[in-house]
Each structure stands twice: as structure tokens, then as C-alpha cells.
Structure 1
Amino acid sequence: MYKTDVVVVGAGAAGIGAALTLVDAGQKVILLEKGNKFGGAGMFGAQGLFAVESRLQKEAGVSYSVKDAYHDLVDYAHYRVDLKTVKKIVEYSASTIDWLQKHGLKTELVNNTQEVHQKNLQTYHQYIDKFTGFSHLIEHLEKEHGILLTETSGEKILLDTDGQVSGVQVLHQGKTEEILCKAVIIADGGFIGDQQLVKEYLEINYENLYSMGERKATGDGLKMLENIGADTKQPHLFENHAASVISKDNLKWHNNSIFSLTNIPLLWINSRGQRFVNEDICYDFALWGNVTYKAGGFYYYLLDEKLVSFLTKNSLDWTDSFERTFKTLAHEPMTYKIGPFNNLKADLNEAIEQKTGWIGNSIADLAEKINVSSTVLENTIKSYNNLVKAGKDSEFYKADQFMKFSLKKEPFYAIKACSTTLGTLGGVQVDDNFNVLDKNGEVMQSVFAVGNTAATNMFADSYPTIEGLSCAFAWNSGRIAGETAVNLVHKN
């Protein structure tokens, strides 16, 4: 049996942030990690985080203030957020960049990683050598006598006869054990890995959702908190992020040309065979993800034989929406080109074999293959062709440069792109210090929730378009909860 001051459940960004804050204040901490590797989505998924008024920004002459960021965030959410939480996260963000560097994880200020955000002021702080950096964080934890237990999941928060936290029941390498403690911080990343919970809160067919989230995040923390009376009936959101072509038979399947063509503004149609958006929305990942989710979780992008022939032989002066993300990470220059795709016919056939692509010898034939009205699809394509001929998208106002390809020559192809999520946002209700609240809105002493387990106090109906914000929320909420727990433990 272990005994400590605070147990932190989950060794991702939020959990590590809390644990390091505690050991730096001289508290005894045990950090639990369900898997055999620490880091979670904060390391394996993220490449950096948002911050304002950081030292790096001041050195670069970036004049984007806490006040500016605060207004942008609350305006985006139409004030349906907790204003104290928003302000506190933004206020902490700059010091967190220095704090991470002090503990061994360096960052660099880079251009925003999405093409549509290039005119926005720089706020994205990209990790430098993130895997080594995260290792330094854990080394610091252990140097300060903190304990990391891997292959250990939280099962139950233990309360004494007065209803105060007395410990945590855990499953450690297959064995049920108890850790005695004075406080608990839940930082286990939400519930994207729990299929039943996802289905409960999802507004689309589960079959149309592709998750890039942490599979180990199965809602354990939410269940633990619910069992002691916490308010878990808060809005649960999905961090919608772009759209992906996937094979349900082989989730590891990837085809470079099919993936790249998903990332440019060709003609998209919804499940009714209708156009539904200005397709250049693909250059903003959050909005692209939102519109895909709103469309029912998927859409098709269309090609005809003439376009396939062109792309097989020629490059296109359009930007792959993900190019800047990858080029920024690798410190390489942009190409602003896509293609040529020398084996595009074979790649399309591969997509068809994977049941994520369809071919029709006519528009009516394709409509039958993808189960939409042939009349509707024919009218959609006819209307779009007229817009291309005019060179203006008077329907949804896609930029003129993308009104280039009409669809007239058979065969016709449809590729299905599905709603993609980076994880769940929100869960248990908390205050601005990340104390967990009960169903009456009262603080539950010695219990905290951070990161994706905490309520969506910064996000209303969707994730904002500011890059790196969920990772910043994780690090900063962890630090804030850690500081609050320090004061609480001292009192006890």
C-alpha cells in the first residue's frame, strides 16, 4: 500500500502539469498512467500549444495580448463559457512556456500551422524535441521524489466517514490496490476511447466517426467522480478536426494521393447528393471538422475522368491544407503545389477496394452506388459546372481560384470523407480553480478535474479556431489545480 499527499490520475499534459507543480512545492505525489508510456495526447498527438504575451512573442514583436485573446475566445463562444476560467487560462499561458522550458521541454514560436491563419498573429509554440522534453519532465518529477506508476488505472475515489478523500483504489498491473492520499486530481483525458459513452453523446452515426484521440481515455475518471456525487451531466463535445478517408476494414490503410485530394477544395456533396459548403473551408481544420459533423458525419468529394487525367500528369497550384502543418514541424519551405499523382487510377481503385470510394459510368450510375437521388446529383453537378463556367461561386462563395474544374466526362468517382475527432472535450463541472463541483454547484473538497475531463468552460458548442488551445488548456489547468491542491494540503 502506498501513502502520499496527492494522487494524479493520468500522465498526459494536464496530469504532468499538476504533478510537477505539486512536487516543486514539496508535496508527495503519485502520478498514475494507465498504459506503459507516459505523455498521452499531450505528447503523442500534439506538437505544441497556444500562449500569449510569452517571452518568445515579445522577442518577436508579436503584440497579441491577454485581453485580445480573452475577447476572441469569449466572442467565439458567444459568452457561453466561464469567463473567469477563460481569463485565467490565458493569463497563465505565457508563464507556462517558461515553466515548461525550466523543466526540460523547450518550445519555439512558429507561424500558425494552418494556411488560413497566416495573417493572424503568432500564438503557436511548437515543441522542440518533444519526446526527449517529456522525458526530462518525468525525470524532474522523480528527482523531486514524485512517483510514476505505469500500467495503473484509477478505479475508485475512497472517502472516509466524514466524506473526505482518504485514498484511491487502483488497478496496478492487474492487481487491485489502495493508495492513501489527501487529494485527487483527475486528468485521464476524457472518454473518446469508450465506444458506448461516445455513442451516447455523439450526434452522428458512430460508423461515420474516425477518432485520432487517446484510446486509453475511456472515461474512468468521469465514472469515479460520478460515484462520489460530482456533477457529470455537463455538455460533452467532440474536438472536430478536418475529415478523413478511412477504411472500416483496415483502419491502418493510408493512400497518399487519396489523402491529399481530401485536403483541397474539390466539389463536395452530402448524403443527399447536394453541395453544402464552400469547400475551401478545408483550410481551417476546426471549421472543416464542424461542417463535416453538421453534414451528418461524412461527405463525398467528386472527380471525373478529365480531372483524374489532369492530376495524373500535372501538378496543381493549390495548397494541400495539411502541408504547412508538416512543413512547419520539419522546418521545410512550402511548395504550394499538389500532385502530380502518377498512379491516381490505381489509387482510386484501391479506395474502391477499401469500400471508401465508388465509380460510376454515368452520374446516375454513381448516384445509385452512393445511394443518393440521381436527379438531385445530376442537378448538383450541372449547377456546379455552371458556376465553374462563370468563374464565380455565387452559391457558397468559394474563392475564385478554386472554381476551376467542371465534372462532365465519365467515369465519375466519389470518395467518402468521414468526421474526425481529436478527442472529447468536457465532462465534470469545475470552478476556475478546477475544484470539482457537486450536483448543487458546491465545491467537493480535495477533488479536482483538469484537461479533457474538466467541463467545457472554455468552449461552447465547438472547439475554437485558435491553434494549440486544447493542449494549452491541459497544461494550464493542470498547473492551476496543482497550485490549488498545494494550498489545500498545507491546510490539512
Structure 2
Amino acid sequence: MTDTTDVVVIGSGAAGLAAALAAAARGESVVVLEASPRWGGSTAVSGGQVWAPNNHLQDEAGFADSEGEALAYCRAAAPGRDPELVETFVRSVPAAVRFVEENSPIRFTVVRGYPDTFAELPGGKPARHLEAQPLTTDGLGSPDELLWPPPYGAPVLTNDEFFEHRMFAGSAPPFDLTRRRLDAGEVALGAGLVVGLLRGCRDAGVELVRGCRVRRLIRADGRITGVEADRDGNPWRLTARRVVLATGGFEHDPDLRSQLLAGPLSHPVTPPVQHGDGLRLAADAGAQLSRTGEYWSWPAFRAPGRRWPDDAGTPQAQLVMAERYLPHVIWVNAAGRRFVNEASHNCAVAFAELDANTHRPRNLPAWAIGDAQFRARYPVGGVPPNEPLPDWLPSADSLDKLAALVGIDATALQHTVDRFNATADAGRDDDFRRGNTAYERAFGDATAAHPNLGTISEPPFFALPVHASAVGTKGGARTDHRARVLDWAGQPIPGLYAAGNAAAAVFGPGTIAGGITIASALTWGWLAGSDAP
């Protein structure tokens, strides 16, 4: 079967849906092809923050910003990146989020408690993040059938509400508000962003097709002219004037991970749909690939028995949050030593450090070591405070016994804890300066003596295994300032565009702001959909 449309978008996360919405707004016919039975990819299970410097809502919220300050921050926080693409992002993201508001039911608000990762650098600010307000699915179907379920429960509260109610520090959610949102069928965070974009696309006449995996790009006379896909088990040929790759990364493909990544990534937290389809399609079309060794690194843990609702029952890992930001916990490696500022945004980069003698990761395996003071106030491994620890989480009434249980050097662990306790009591971290930045303090416990620091001294003690994880890979097709995919000569491949994690990341090698992934996806998706072929 062969059909024709103006634009084919492959993937239905923030990048793909923004591209589809932008193309439809230009009057083009658009088809979105999603390989899985659920919409939204990793966007749907994310916090949904959009890092949008100099956006149209900051002034009225009392946070002044400018293009110049945003550029200064990006240059300081991500040195060595492509200056033209960095400038394109800074100049385009305000227009992209305004476009989304004007062409969908999404209404953004400023997340007041979320500073830039390196807010102390030139141009850094206390509030540049936007988030979509809660929305109903409005005829799209039940969220349980529509989207991938996030590991932290129903996504009905906003980031602002998480900060307001201290939920990052383990406080109980506002149950009445949660119940009202559930009863109303509303979703927030990344789920709300995806639902808003889906509703905008539906209202704009975009054809949305699930369970349709693209196998090949069609090329004729030197340009991409469509795709060949499997739709409900049947071959489907769809011709188009242009194709947008928005398939996400390759973190769930073990072969690509082992061949391309420069560091360990064993427990991705994204839904099991990022198998590198965009990377392979781009490579087959002759695209220049870039940033393939990088990924959006995060720490994760995995509770046994937690699985994604896919046919394979893929294990579901979760981000480590409380066990890195809050008092009365540290991370150690098998040698019993701390190795990073646990509360820093880029803490998981430390997992890539190699031992010069063994050529193996120096800091894996790793554990979060905490005590009864932590358990009295904060969750660990997803278990609320003061509830019994699960059987899978090691604990003991002494550090020596805990070290023996998990294989940590006991003498070094005791020395590490003693050193940490001595300085934590004085409200400082002499080794890694934990708690010295606005970002770290924002995610700490404002009601504690220090938001991020506290002694580890009261038994029983626990050891949560911490794994190398990611919210996506960064390698993909290199694009220009119009989101056009470039070949190895640096020339655009006619008819081919890329956005999101299917495109080479503009920022890195670490993360310069929470929500930079979704902001980049929306921006490059909007550019791809708006471009005139």
C-alpha cells in the first residue's frame, strides 16, 4: 500500500509532536508514526520541565532575563559546543514555547523553585524553567492506555507543587488535590506536555498512527521522499516532501551502547522504545553522526519486580533523587570512598571514570549509605520514611556488618563516614563542597539544619545500590540551524530533518539545566516543522 502526505514525523515525544504541530500550522498534511503502542516516549515519563531562557513568562513572574545573559550562561556551562547551534537554541526557544501555547491547549507557567544547574556562573538565573499546567486527555483515551506510565506514580502534580509541598524531601503529597486531579482525568509533568501536544496535533488535522515502525527511508534523485514502514504487520509505503527523525536515542539497544558510548550505562530509566532507529535510518541515508559517545547521565536504582508494560517485561529503573540530595547519606564505591558531590546535577558523570590499572570503572559498583536519621524523614528505594525496608535493600546495625554484606572495604568506609560526619556537623563538605550551589540547595531539605548535609551515625544503616543510568543518549544525526540533517560533507540531505535525541545534542558534555532535553526537543522540532523545503 502506498499513500502520500507532505510531512512524515517518526516518533511522538516532544520533538516529534512539536514538528508535526508546526508543519500542520503551515497548512501541510502531516502523519506521525509511533513504533510503540503508546505515545510520548521518554517525554511522557519525564518531569516535563522546559528550560527556556528569556521566555515570555519570566518578566511577569518577576525573573528578568535576556538573550545576552542566556548566551553567556550557555557558553560558560557548555564550552566547546557548536556556537551557531547554541545561538540558534537561545534565540529560538522563546518562539517555540510561545508557538506551542498559541497552537495547543498547553499553558506554561514558570517553575519558581528550580534554578539553573550552574546558577553561579555568568548569566545564571534562579528560574528559567517552564511547565505545562494539568490537562485532561479530552477524548484521546485513558492515560493508562495512552502513555508510558512513569515509575513514580500518577503524574497529576506539577513541579511547582512538588517544591511547595517538599515532596522531593519525602513529604506526603496533597491528597485532596491529587484526588481531584485523578477524578478529573488530568495529567501534569511530561505526561501533560505530551497530552497537550497530542490534542494540538489532533485539532490541527495531524494523522496519528501507533504501532507503526519505520524500516527504511525512501530516497530518489538525491533527496528523501518518504518511508517504508510496518503497520499492523503489513508493509506501508508513505511518500512525502520531507521526513523528520524524532525517534529518541539508543539507550535500550545493548549493541549500540557497547559500540558507541564512552561510559557505562546499564539501567536506562526511559521506556523501552529507544532502540536507535533514528540513528540507523540517518546513517543509512548518509548522515553525519555526532556526539555518539555522550548521554544524559543520571544515577538510578531498581527495585526487583518493577517492570515496564511491554511484551518483554523490561525491568524498570528509577532515578535516584532523595538518596543524593538530602542529609544523612553519602555515596561510596567498593573501596569505601566517596567519589563525587552526590547532589550535583552531573554526579553520574563520575561513573565513567576508569581505574588506570584495571581499565574498569573506578566508581562502580556504588552504594548510597544512609542511617536511621535518613529513614525517619526521607524515602529510600521508593519506600516512604519509617516503613520497613524491603528485603532486597541491605541493612545492618553497624557499618562493619553493612560493608561485609555488600562487599565494601570496611575500614575505608568507617574512615569515610567519620570524615564526612566531622565536617557535616560543622555545616560544610570539605571534600566535594556539597550544598554550595543554589541547584543543590533547591532539592535539599529546607527544614533541616543544612539542606544537603547531616551525619551518618545512628543505626541501622542501609546501602542502596546506585547504577549508571540515563534519560537518553546524545548521539545522532548532525543538524544545522534549520534542523536539516547534514551529510559528511556538511551539506543538508534534501528532505531529511532531525530533532530531540535522534539528533546530535547541542549541549554537553554534561547537563547545563534540568529540562534542557525537552527544551531542545521542542525547539528543534519546531524548527524542523516550520522549515520551508
TM-score with structure 1 setting the length:
0.79
State whether residues 187 and 221 of structure 1, in contact with CA within 8 Å, keep that contact through their aligned partners in structure 2.
yes
Gaps of 5+ in 2: 138-191, 309-314, 354-361, 436-448
State whether residues 48 and 107 of structure 1, in contact with CA within 8 Å, keep that contact through their aligned partners in structure 2.
no
1:267 aligns with 2:326: no
What amino acid sits opposite 1:220 in the alignment? Answer: D
Number of the residue aligned with 1:357: 394
Match among 128, 136, 155 for residue 123 of structure 1: 128
Asked which structure has the greater CA Rg, the reply is: 1
More off after superposition, 7-16 vs 267-276: 267-276
State whether residues 306 and 316 of structure 2, in contact with CA within 8 Å, keep that contact through their aligned partners in structure 1.
no
Match among 179, 182, 185 for residue 238 of structure 2: 179
Deviations 1:239-298 (A, max 9, x none): 123x33323554589999x9744542423212221122344xx2x4x2233345556455
Number of the residue aligned with 2:151: none
Counterpart CA distance in 2 for 1:226 and 1:155 is 13
Number of the residue aligned with 1:327: none
Mark the CA change 1:12 to 1:398 in structure 2 (over 3 Å): closer, same or farther. closer
Match among 431, 434, 440 for residue 480 of structure 2: 431
What amino acid sits opposite 2:217 in the alignment? Answer: I
Number of the residue aligned with 1:83: 83
Counterpart CA distance in 1 for 2:129 and 2:195 is 22
Instruction: Tell me how far 1:469 sits from its aligned partner.
Output: 1.5
State whether residues 4 and 181 of structure 1, in contact with CA within 8 Å, keep that contact through their aligned partners in structure 2.
yes
Number of the residue aligned with 1:113: 114
3-state SS, counterpart of residue 346 of structure 2? helix
Mark the CA change 1:227 to 1:136 in structure 2 (over 3 Å): closer, same or farther. same
State whether residues 448 and 481 of structure 1, in contact with CA within 8 Å, keep that contact through their aligned partners in structure 2.
yes
Number of the residue aligned with 2:211: 151
Counterpart CA distance in 1 for 2:406 and 2:510 is 29
State whether residues 64 and 121 of structure 1, in contact with CA within 8 Å, keep that contact through their aligned partners in structure 2.
no
3-state SS, counterpart of residue 69 of structure 1? helix
Counterpart CA distance in 1 for 2:244 and 2:218 is 13
Number of the residue aligned with 1:440: 489
Gaps of 5+ in 1: 322-337
3-state SS, counterpart of residue 55 of structure 1? coil
Task: Map 1:17-416; keep pairs closer than 5 Å.
Answer: 17-78=18-79, 80-104=80-104, 105-113=106-114, 120-130=125-135, 132=137, 134-135=194-195, 137-160=197-220, 162-206=221-265, 209-241=266-298, 243-248=299-304, 250-251=306-307, 260-265=322-327, 266-279=329-342, 282=343, 284=344, 286-291=345-350, 294=353, 296-303=363-370, 307-308=371-372, 310=373, 315=377, 341-343=385-387, 346-347=388-389, 350=390, 353-354=391-392, 356-359=393-396, 363-387=399-423, 393-398=429-434, 401=450, 404-407=454-457, 412-416=461-465
Counterpart CA distance in 1 for 2:399 and 2:28 is 68
What amino acid sits opposite 1:127 in the alignment? Answer: A
Instruction: Tell me how far 1:214 sits from its aligned partner.
Output: 3.4
Number of the residue aligned with 2:522: 475
Mark the CA change 1:442 to 1:416 in structure 2 (over 3 Å): closer, same or farther. same
More off after superposition, 34-43 vs 129-138: 129-138
Number of the residue aligned with 2:446: none
Counterpart CA distance in 1 for 2:30 and 2:307 is 38
3-state SS, counterpart of residue 95 of structure 2? helix
Deviations 1:214-249 (A, max 9, x none): 3212111111111121122543422123x3332355
Instruction: Tell me how far 1:470 sits from its aligned partner.
Output: 1.2
Instruction: Tell me how far 1:116 sits from its aligned partner.
Output: 7.7
Instruction: Tell me how far 1:143 sits from its aligned partner.
Output: 4.4
State whether residues 112 and 467 of structure 1, in contact with CA within 8 Å, keep that contact through their aligned partners in structure 2.
no
More off after superposition, 419-428 vs 125-134: 125-134
Instruction: Tell me how far 1:169 sits from its aligned partner.
Output: 0.5
Deviations 1:60-86 (A, max 9, x none): 2322112111121122111x2111211
- Please state which structure has a larger fraction of its residues in helix: 1
Instruction: Tell me how far 1:431 sits from its aligned partner.
Output: 1.4
State whether residues 166 and 181 of structure 1, in contact with CA within 8 Å, keep that contact through their aligned partners in structure 2.
yes
Mark the CA change 1:176 to 1:15 in structure 2 (over 3 Å): closer, same or farther. same
Mark the CA change 1:202 to 1:368 in structure 2 (over 3 Å): closer, same or farther. farther
What amino acid sits opposite 1:7 in the alignment? Answer: V
Counterpart CA distance in 1 for 2:425 and 2:53 is 45
More off after superposition, 129-138 vs 231-240: 129-138
3-state SS, counterpart of residue 519 of structure 2? helix
State whether residues 192 and 214 of structure 1, in contact with CA within 8 Å, keep that contact through their aligned partners in structure 2.
no
Instruction: Tell me how far 1:480 sits from its aligned partner.
Output: 0.8
Task: Map 1:459-474; keep pairs closer than 5 Å.
Answer: 459-464=507-512, 466-474=513-521
Counterpart CA distance in 1 for 2:427 and 2:98 is 50
Counterpart CA distance in 1 for 2:92 and 2:196 is 22
3-state SS, counterpart of residue 52 of structure 1? coil
Counterpart CA distance in 2 for 1:387 and 1:269 is 17
Instruction: Tell me how far 1:140 sits from its aligned partner.
Output: 4.3
Q: Percent identity?
A: 23
Counterpart CA distance in 1 for 2:66 and 2:211 is 41
Counterpart CA distance in 1 for 2:495 and 2:348 is 37
Mark the CA change 1:436 to 1:131 in structure 2 (over 3 Å): closer, same or farther. farther
What amino acid sits opposite 2:97 in the alignment? Answer: I
TM-score with structure 2 setting the length:
0.74
Match among 490, 497, 502 for residue 453 of structure 1: 502
Mark the CA change 1:154 to 1:405 in structure 2 (over 3 Å): closer, same or farther. same
State whether residues 225 and 495 of structure 2, in contact with CA within 8 Å, keep that contact through their aligned partners in structure 1.
no
State whether residues 154 and 221 of structure 1, in contact with CA within 8 Å, keep that contact through their aligned partners in structure 2.
no
What amino acid sits opposite 1:83 in the alignment? Answer: P
What amino acid sits opposite 1:194 in the alignment? Answer: D
What amino acid sits opposite 2:241 in the alignment? Answer: K
RMSD in angstroms over aligned alpha carbons? 3.4
What amino acid sits opposite 1:371 in the alignment? Answer: G
Number of the residue aligned with 1:324: none
State whether residues 420 and 455 of structure 2, in contact with CA within 8 Å, keep that contact through their aligned partners in structure 1.
no
More off after superposition, 94-103 vs 38-47: 38-47
What amino acid sits opposite 2:516 in the alignment? Answer: L
What amino acid sits opposite 2:349 in the alignment? Answer: N
Counterpart CA distance in 2 for 1:173 and 1:428 is 28
